[in-house]
């Protein structure tokens, strides 16, 4: 076996190495800039330039007759495809990052991620938690008179909000349909959540089916004629104000719209985004690279030139949100009015089912202090969390 002699470096050599390393670091530091993750493609991400680097690289000087090499100038507001430096945690749409761009290749590399104010994650099929969206301020929980609202789904989203540190906002859309007597009960649901302290808005999104906006259209007329109408005037005003109200609530905020299929999420989102060609699920219209790939989530800004004005994170995955990564205790923590009572149950491991002995939640139901359907909802969600479906 050959003997490897360790060579001792002279002081001068050591100094030279230190200097080289410092120069390398300085050149990375000078190239670093701020960015926001706009879309997520698994290993690659799209990042918007939100600050320029201290040292702006110059394009190469091309001798006459030589072919022009590829060069992508760094400009504010541009979107770059990026790789992620190894050893960084999994990134999500909405993450604020420090990164370097290589104008010679048109690719960037994310060097670090700033602390997050919130993180919405979702377990995948393999039971692994995946971050979906970071720094989201509001989860708009959309429901409607038709398809009929599922209170249990609303409760599920409220639990998600609690754990992600995101503020919930209840949006009762298709408020125009409340003018039809059969559907008027949905408004009670909104009132119930308001009484629990949640913020809520009533909206009617602009679309051909909206019977308040198009009362003379044949399908609307049919709906109106075949139904007993309640007093339409005040609802019309409330619903019209609703969209402005919603706009005010989400101004300068990053928002996710969640809710069952058909309640009008896309219609609302399109009404809220100023750029008509920037509709939900449209792939990468503002990416210069123009590659069409399915994303897991995408940030649609209210003002593409100023991300501080907020936007909407389109995350299809949020619709079938599983909660089985949460413990029963985590789940009850998301039921604001029930959580403080749980400590009063006779048994510490009380399952809060109707026949649980000495259950403080059911005593509160009997005394009319809390809603029975919320306790039932809690029990259903806790049971789901106890029995993973993978
Ligand atoms: N009457 C009435 N219809 C609406 C309203 N908002 C949306 N719609 C209609 O409801 C239908 C479903 O709307 P979408 O926006 O596609 O619903 P979605 O929640 O995005 O549905 P998914 O994409 O399946 O999750 C469409 O035909 C809309 O035009 C509303 O305020 N009033
Ligand atoms: Zn109990």
Confidence of residue 182 (pLDDT cuts 50, 70, 90): confident
Confirm or reject: Cβ of 173 under 6 Å from ligand 1: yes
Q: Which atom of ligand 1 is nearest to the CA of 207?
A: 29
| DSSP of 218-274 | HHHHHHHHTS-B--HHHHHHHHHHHHHHHHHHHTT-EEEEE--TTSSHHHHHHHH-S
| DSSP of 134-198 | ES--EEEEEE-SSSPP-HHHHHHHHHHHHHHT-EEEEEE--GGGGGBGGGTTHHHHHHHHHHTT-
Separation of CA 113 and ligand 1 centre (Å): 36
- Please state, rounded to an integer, the average pLDDT across all residues of the chain: 84
Confirm or reject: Cβ of 315 under 6 Å from ligand 1: no
Beta bridge partners of 39: 46, 298
| Token pair belonging to 191 | 């009132």
Condensed to tens digits (0 to 9), the pLDDT of residues 221-274 reads 555 555 555 556 666 666 667 889 999 999 999 999 999 889 999 899 999 987
| Token pair belonging to 263 | 């309640």
Separation of CA 130 and ligand 1 centre (Å): 28
- Among 32, 194, 162, CA closest to 97: 32
* pLDDT for residue 4: 55
Which region among 40-44, 178-182, 236-240 has the lowest average model confidence (pLDDT)? 236-240
CB-based contact 79:286 (threshold 8 Å): yes
Confirm or reject: Cβ of 174 under 6 Å from ligand 1: yes
- Among 315, 349, 3, 355, CA closest to 132: 315
CATH number assigned to the domain covering 119-272: 3.40.50.300
Condensed to tens digits (0 to 9), the pLDDT of residues 47-95 reads 999 999 999 998 988 888 888 899 999 999 999 999 999 999 999 999 9
Q: Which ligand is nearest to the CA of 217?
A: 1
Mutate which of 141, 180, 207 to test ligand 1's pocket (most atoms within 8 Å of Cβ)? 207
Domain residue extents for the chain: 119-272, 328-386
Which residues fall within 8 angstroms of residue 291, CB to CB, at 6 or more apart?
A: 81, 284
Average pLDDT over residues 120-141: 87
Q: Which atom of ligand 1 is nearest to the CA of 204?
A: 31
Separation of CA 140 and ligand 1 centre (Å): 15
> Do the strands 297-301 and 138-143 form a parallel or antiparallel pair, or are they unpaired?
unpaired
The answer to whether 176 is a known ligand-binding residue is yes
| DSSP of 32-70 | -EEEEEEEEETTEEEEEE-S--SSPPPPPP--TTSPPPP
**Between these two residues, 174 and 182, which has the higher pLDDT value?**
174
> Do the strands 33-41 and 297-301 form a parallel or antiparallel pair, or are they unpaired?
antiparallel
Q: Which ligand is nearest to the CA of 358?
A: 2
Give the DSSP H/E element, type plus range, for residue 84: strand 79-84
DSSP annotation of 116: P
Confirm or reject: Cβ of 264 under 6 Å from ligand 1: yes
The answer to whether 104 is a known ligand-binding residue is no
Q: Which atom of ligand 1 is nearest to the CA of 280?
A: 20
Beta bridge partners of 112: 98
**Residue having the nearest C-alpha atom to atom 13 of ligand 1:** 264
Note the pTM of the prediction, 2 decimals.
Answer: 0.85
Q: Give Cα separations from 140 to 25, 70, 289 (angstroms).
A: 43, 43, 31
CATH number assigned to the domain covering 328-386: 1.10.40.50
ipTM for the assembly: 0.98
Q: Give Cα separations from 133 to 75, 156, 190 (angstroms).
A: 25, 18, 26
């Amino acid at each position: 076996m050959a003997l490897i002699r360790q060579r001792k470096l002279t002081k001068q050599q050591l100094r030279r190495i230190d200097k080289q390393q410092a120069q390398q670091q300085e050149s990375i530091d000078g190239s670093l800039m701020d960015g926001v993750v706009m879309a997520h493609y698994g290993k690659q991400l799209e990042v918007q330039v939100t600050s320029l680097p201290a040292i702006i690289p110059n394009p190469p000087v091309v001798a006459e007759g030589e072919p022009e090499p590829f060069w992508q100038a760094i400009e504010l507001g541009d979107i770059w495809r990026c790789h992620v430096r190894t050893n960084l945690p999994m990134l999500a749409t909405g993450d604020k990052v420090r990164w370097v761009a290589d104008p010679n290749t048109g690719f960037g590399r994310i060097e670090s991620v700033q602390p997050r104010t919130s993180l919405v994650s979702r377990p995948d099929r393999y039971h692994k938690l995946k971050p979906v969206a970071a720094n989201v301020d509001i989860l708009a929980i959309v429901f409607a008179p038709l398809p009929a609202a599922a209170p249990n789904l609303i409760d599920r989203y409220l639990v998600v909000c609690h754990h992600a540190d995101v503020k919930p906002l209840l949006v009762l859309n298709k408020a125009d349909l409340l003018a039809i007597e059969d559907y008027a009960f949905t408004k009670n649901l909104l009132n119930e959540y308001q009484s629990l302290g949640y913020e809520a808005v009533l909206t009617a999104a602009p679309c051909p089916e909206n019977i308040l906006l198009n009362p003379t259209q044949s399908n609307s007329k049919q709906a109106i004629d075949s139904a007993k109408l309640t007093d339409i005037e005040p609802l019309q005003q409330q619903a019209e104000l609703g969209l402005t109200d919603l706009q005010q609530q989400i101004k300068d905020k990053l928002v996710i719209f969640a809710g069952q299929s058909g309640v009008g999420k896309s219609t609302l989102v399109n009404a809220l985004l100023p750029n008509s060609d920037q509709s939900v699920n449209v792939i990468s219209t503002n990416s210069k690279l123009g590659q069409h790939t399915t994303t897991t989530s995408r940030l649609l800004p209210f003002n593409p030139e100023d991300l501080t004005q907020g936007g909407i994170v389109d995350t299809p995955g949020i619709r079938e949100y599983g909660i089985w990564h949460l413990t029963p205790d985590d789940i009850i923590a998301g039921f604001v009015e029930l959580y403080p009572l749980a400590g009063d149950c006779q048994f510490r491991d009380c399952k809060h089912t109707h026949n649980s002995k000495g259950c403080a939640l059911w005593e509160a139901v009997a005394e009319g202090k809390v809603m029975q359907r919320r306790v039932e909802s809690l029990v259903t969600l806790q049971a789901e969390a106890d029995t993973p479906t993978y």
